[in-house]
Amino acid sequence: MPSDPFPSESAAATAGTPEVTHVPNHQTAALIVAAGKGLRAGGGLAKQWRPLAGRRVIDWTLDAFRKVGIDQIALVLSPQDTEIWQEFAAQDDILLTRGGATRSQSVANGLELLAHHDVDRVLIHDAARPCVSGRVIHDVLSALDTSLAAAPALAVTDALWRGADGYVTGTQDRAGLCAAQTPQGFRLAEIRAAHQQLAANSMDAADDVEVARAAGIDVAIIPGDPDNMKITRPEDFDRAARILGGDMDVRLGNGYDVHRFGPGDEVVLCGVPLAHDRGLQGHSDADVGLHAITDALYGALAEGDIGRHFPPSDPQWKGAASDIFLRHAADLTRSKGYQISNVDCTLVCEFPKITPHAPAMRAVVAEILSIDISRVSIKATTSERLGFTGRGEGIAAIATACVVKP
């Protein structure tokens, strides 16, 4: 076997079985194997049903194929997963079949199901590979234009050892060796026949490439992706979450509020009372800083402003402490699956002086939002004695909030 398992650009054009020609008007389905127990990954639940970056592993896997336009998916489930069966039975692009005692039997069941539909190519994929990219899926499909079978793989670059009882017992030449990945793509008729032959011989196989090769089918290798990992151990979930973070939902919101000065002997700014010769007027405690931050969070969620959630016409909010509003915005953020990444608030006024009190304000806001103080910025500026703030008629606040859904 050559040291480089991947063909050159010119060789790739002729790789595979020579007599195979392009299949016009092909119909492709994905076959997702999700019938296993997968308990080595921990959590007391099969790994395909465990949460990952705000969703289940299986949800990421299915969406990877939907995003590239695969609109027919055969899902192989355990017969014991009755509630999950009902869930997916309601999805128009999902076909369901029962898993077998082995992976090969599960795949064979899926292939038999697809044989009764208008499908001539199939991508067989492990449910526990949620990070598969559109590039890998597309490259496998493209390879099927000139080959009966194609699969992604990574060339082995690390030194390989044999071991026993915790000690190295030997080495293995890595030349030509590949680490297999999925999806593994096939012409449906050929891989179905190969699985039937495997079953007739009462044999099993590690993957579908082994099944194909046992039936004499050449399998083209396309470059895999290091991120296309298979979740196997508990620590794999953290790595997969970092990879999938590239698709995280990041939202920004801004808030702006103004309150005029009136009678009083203190103002409350970002939750901190400050002695002053006047107070701020408003329906609540007129904390202009907290109001701006609250509106920034509502804005990031497209949930309107404070007035929508706490109408000034409602007497129960007369004189209310503004931390009530901000806590509501924070709770709403989390209920929608978002985390508060950071907030930044600028108070615009000639007086009182804000800078000496900014650390206390940051601490209060951080406590209300249940985030680290390093994620809270409170600062101040003047308007160079221009406008209503420059004339000392009131205080304005501008705030920005960033929320993230992993």
pLDDT at 15: 39
Q: 41: pLDDT confidence band, cut at 50, 70 and 90? A: low
For 176-231, the pLDDT digits (tens) are 999 999 999 999 999 999 999 999 999 999 999 999 999 999 999 999 999 999 99
For 86-139, the pLDDT digits (tens) are 999 999 999 999 999 999 999 999 999 999 999 999 999 999 999 999 999 999
pTM of the model: 0.61
pLDDT at 1: 38
Closest CA to 138 of 73, 189, 208, 185: 185
pLDDT at 14: 37
Q: Buried b vs exposed e over 199-209: b needs ≥16 C-beta within 10 Å?
A: beeeeebebbb
Rounded CA-CA distance 367/362 in Å is: 9
Helical packing angle, 134-143 and 57-67, nearest 10°: 50
pLDDT at 25: 47
Closest CA to 138 of 127, 150, 120: 150
In the block, tokens 């992706």 appear at 225
For 239-297, the pLDDT digits (tens) are 998 888 766 789 999 999 999 999 999 999 999 999 998 989 988 899 999 999 999 99
